[in-house]
A and B are shown apart, each in its own frame.
Chain A
Amino acid sequence: MSSVAVFSKAKASPFDALQRWLPKLVLAPSMFIVLVGFYGYILWTFVLSFTSSTFLPSYKWAGLAQYERLFDNDRWWVASKNLMVFGGMFIGISLVVGVVLAIFLDQRIRREGFIRTIYLYPMALSMIVTGTAWKWLLNPGMGLDKLLRDWGWEGFRLDWLIDSDRVVYCLVIAAVWQASGFIMAMFLAGLRGVDQSIVRAAQIDGASLPTIYWKVILPSLRPVFFSSVMILAHIAIKSFDLVAAMTAGGPGYSSDLPAMFMYSFTFSRGQMGMGSASAILMLGAILAILVPYLYSELRTKRND
């Protein structure tokens, strides 16, 4: 910036003054948007979560009443527990599938580009489309349930979609189908960047192939691993469309997730205060994974 300033001072015509202010002017609308639309609105929601707002916003102070009601609400706990189960399985399975496919694809496979395209295409689809497709595939009586019986597996039953204990696994299946190809792509890019001299050194030392992968290559992909967990966790916490399309939270509210809870309490049930409280807790969950991640990112950058 100093060069701009010095240059403009050298011959301070109105044109130069304008040039000096242009960058700030150009950025100003975005700054306004970020300050108001991001941080101002978060603060606004935060305030609402301490009020007794129902169908309309009211600014009557209610202290922590909304949070207390939230914690007394069985549906909130089901949604939170589901997020743990859904998030944990979604992240774990997507990582395993992604890493395995990436390693296998990295073995000089012919038609690699074509295969990669197939693994990744679900990522281009809306979660609503994904949910619609999987709702049909998992349809008890007409979907895979019937297909495998028709193919000769007489005792096959797949009715998880209407089983309140297992419905959350349906969400996991659809979400893994959508996102695992993306994790594959991230790890494949990571594998291509691994320093080959280290690998060769390990080979010369007589290490077996699985050992090389497990002890040398995968540990060097730690940053990719962390980014992947970060992205998947972020997708999991925000998952709303998939639930809406596949189960609408049902049967009952057994497949509710916090994002769905927030939507239905805020916009359908006229519980604005409690809905805001749940949104603030979701923000807390994102921060709880984001802050350590950013911290470790910054630390490694400083060490470089």
Chain B
Amino acid sequence: MTSLVGKSPLSLSRIAIHVVLIAACLLYLVPLVVMLLTSFKSPEDISTGNLLSWPTVITAIGWVKAWATVDGYFWNSIKITIPAVLISTAIGALNGYVLSMWRFRGSQLFFGLLLFGCFLPFQTVLLPASFTLGKMGLASTTTGLVFVHIVYGLAFTTLFFRNYYVSIPDALVKAARLDGAGFFTIFGKIILPMSTPIVMVCLIWQFTQIWNDFLFGVVFSSGDSQPITVALNNLVNTSTGVKEYNVDMAAAMIAGLPTLLVYIVAGKYFVRGLTAGAVKG
């Protein structure tokens, strides 16, 4: 804490600082408020009023229409996200365990090669990946997307667990080995029980990444197998018919709510994942 400004609580500079901080809060909140407000307006109110004008009638018609358009895609996103998050986290945990406690010749090199995946621009793998999915018969399926998300999520999940396990003292594992405990026994009985924080970080990171993904969704799926982000983009950017902004905003809220809820409930782990993935990546 570098609190150096103004010893007296009401100095001019302290007031100025509070004004800036509160103004910034408002600026960050405006888009969310506008989205919510617009989503509950009638088309008439939208065309006569402005972004922040209070609606004459509050109506959920935008939400009803939006849900009718995107609900199938919402479930697609759930079908893609849940298995991909769980599997990539499980593999990441095992990889991290090996890379920190069961190192062998070449494992460090492998870790280095894997780390680059955190920076990989996915554009360089899109075409080969889509050929492969086609060969596997998984083109344009949610299963194909699960697969892709697992593969390209591994770099981050492994990094999380490896960096976490590296700080666990070796003595703990060595003692267990001398007692005759095997690879999976040590993992299940000793390592996993102390992994709760990093499991949370990893689950939340993967959940946000995969739920919010658009690139893989738009390239590897079509029609019925598209995730919510792709459906939202299609809805918002169709040029046919009259633009229904209340529907657009409600659909955007529907697409954003799951990750927003996770952030509100488990913000601590979200921030930790961001900084861990970022600073050490």
Chains A and B bind each other: yes
Chain A residues near B (Cβ < 8 Å): 1, 3-4, 7, 15, 19, 22-24, 26-27, 29-31, 33-35, 37-42, 44-45, 48, 57, 97, 100-101, 103-109, 115, 117-130, 132-137, 142-144, 146-147, 150, 177, 181-182, 185-186, 189, 191-192, 194, 196, 199, 203, 209, 212, 217, 224, 227, 231, 234, 237-238, 240-241, 244-245, 248, 259, 262-263, 266-267, 272, 275-276, 278-280, 282-283, 286, 290
**Other A-B pairs, 19, CB within 8 Å; known A45-B128, A120-B267, A146-B51:** A1-B103, A7-B177, A23-B183, A27-B95, A30-B158, A40-B128, A41-B129, A45-B125, A104-B20, A105-B21, A117-B267, A126-B213, A130-B31, A132-B233, A136-B34, A136-B35, A137-B51, A146-B50, A282-B123
- Measured CB to CB, the closest approach of chain B to A166, in angstroms, equals 20
> B275 to A240, Cβ gap below 8 A?
no
> A45 to B51, Cβ gap below 8 A?
no
Residues of B contacting A217 in the complex (Cβ-Cβ under 8 angstroms)? 2
> B102 to A33, Cβ gap below 8 A?
no
The contact string, 1 if C-beta is below 8 Å from chain A, for chain B 1-34, is 1111100000000100110110011011111101
Closest 5 CB pairs of A and B: A126-B212, A23-B102, A124-B263, A241-B214, A41-B128
- Measured CB to CB, the closest approach of chain A to B240, in angstroms, equals 15
Residues of B contacting A259 in the complex (Cβ-Cβ under 8 angstroms)? 121, 123, 215
Binds A, one of B56-64, B111-119, B189-197: B111-119
B110, closest chain A residue (CB)? A31
> A119 to B215, Cβ gap below 8 A?
no
The reply on B136 being an interface residue by CB < 8 A is no
> A132 to B252, Cβ gap below 8 A?
yes
> B260 to A186, Cβ gap below 8 A?
no
Residues of B contacting A185 in the complex (Cβ-Cβ under 8 angstroms)? 271, 274-275
Known: A30-B154, A146-B50, A267-B219. A128 touches B102 (CB 8 A): no
> A128 to B233, Cβ gap below 8 A?
yes
26 chain-A/chain-B pairs, Cβ below 8 angstroms = A4-B102, A22-B182, A29-B91, A35-B113, A38-B117, A38-B120, A39-B113, A44-B127, A106-B1, A122-B31, A125-B260, A129-B256, A136-B248, A143-B51, A146-B51, A150-B53, A177-B27, A186-B275, A191-B2, A196-B2, A237-B121, A241-B233, A275-B127, A278-B123, A279-B127, A283-B123
> B20 to A129, Cβ gap below 8 A?
no
> B214 to A106, Cβ gap below 8 A?
no
- Measured CB to CB, the closest approach of chain B to A101, in angstroms, equals 6
The complex places the Cα of A299 from the Cα of B16 at a distance, in Å, of: 41
- Among A34, A108, A237, point to the contact of B3 (Cβ < 8 A): A108
> B279 to A186, Cβ gap below 8 A?
yes
> A129 to B107, Cβ gap below 8 A?
no
- Among B31, B46, B214, B270, point to the contact of A240 (Cβ < 8 A): B214
Residues of B contacting A1 in the complex (Cβ-Cβ under 8 angstroms)? 102-105
> B219 to A118, Cβ gap below 8 A?
no
> A189 to B214, Cβ gap below 8 A?
no
> A245 to B50, Cβ gap below 8 A?
no
The complex places the Cα of A94 from the Cα of B225 at a distance, in Å, of: 36
B27, closest chain A residue (CB)? A177
The CB with the most chain A CB atoms within 10 A, among B121, B263, B267, is that of B121
The complex places the Cα of A65 from the Cα of B21 at a distance, in Å, of: 54
The complex places the Cα of A266 from the Cα of B29 at a distance, in Å, of: 37
> A57 to B127, Cβ gap below 8 A?
yes
The complex places the Cα of A257 from the Cα of B38 at a distance, in Å, of: 30
- Measured CB to CB, the closest approach of chain A to B255, in angstroms, equals 5
Residues of A contacting B151 in the complex (Cβ-Cβ under 8 angstroms)? 33, 37
The reply on B236 being an interface residue by CB < 8 A is yes
Counting chain B residues whose Cβ lies within 8 A of the other chain, the interface size class is: 35 or more
Residues of B contacting A123 in the complex (Cβ-Cβ under 8 angstroms)? 270, 274
- Among A97, A118, A126, A282, point to the contact of B229 (Cβ < 8 A): A126
The complex places the Cα of A186 from the Cα of B202 at a distance, in Å, of: 18
Residues of A contacting B94 in the complex (Cβ-Cβ under 8 angstroms)? 26
The complex places the Cα of A300 from the Cα of B121 at a distance, in Å, of: 26
The reply on B124 being an interface residue by CB < 8 A is yes
The CB with the most chain A CB atoms within 10 A, among B31, B38, B102, B248, is that of B31
- Among A3, A30, A137, point to the contact of B177 (Cβ < 8 A): A3
The reply on B141 being an interface residue by CB < 8 A is no
> B117 to A34, Cβ gap below 8 A?
yes
- Among B2, B21, B125, point to the contact of A41 (Cβ < 8 A): B125
The complex places the Cα of A225 from the Cα of B117 at a distance, in Å, of: 22
Residues of A contacting B158 in the complex (Cβ-Cβ under 8 angstroms)? 30
The complex places the Cα of A227 from the Cα of B280 at a distance, in Å, of: 9
Residues of A contacting B95 in the complex (Cβ-Cβ under 8 angstroms)? 26-27, 30
Residues of A contacting B34 in the complex (Cβ-Cβ under 8 angstroms)? 133, 136-137
The complex places the Cα of A105 from the Cα of B18 at a distance, in Å, of: 9
A113, closest chain B residue (CB)? B267
Known: A3-B174, A143-B51. A125 touches B212 (CB 8 A): yes
The complex places the Cα of A248 from the Cα of B169 at a distance, in Å, of: 51
Residues of B contacting A209 in the complex (Cβ-Cβ under 8 angstroms)? 4-5
B91, closest chain A residue (CB)? A30
The CB with the most chain A CB atoms within 10 A, among B208, B214, B249, B260, is that of B214
The complex places the Cα of A263 from the Cα of B122 at a distance, in Å, of: 11
The contact string, 1 if C-beta is below 8 Å from chain A, for chain B 162-188, is 000000000000100110001110000
The reply on B78 being an interface residue by CB < 8 A is no
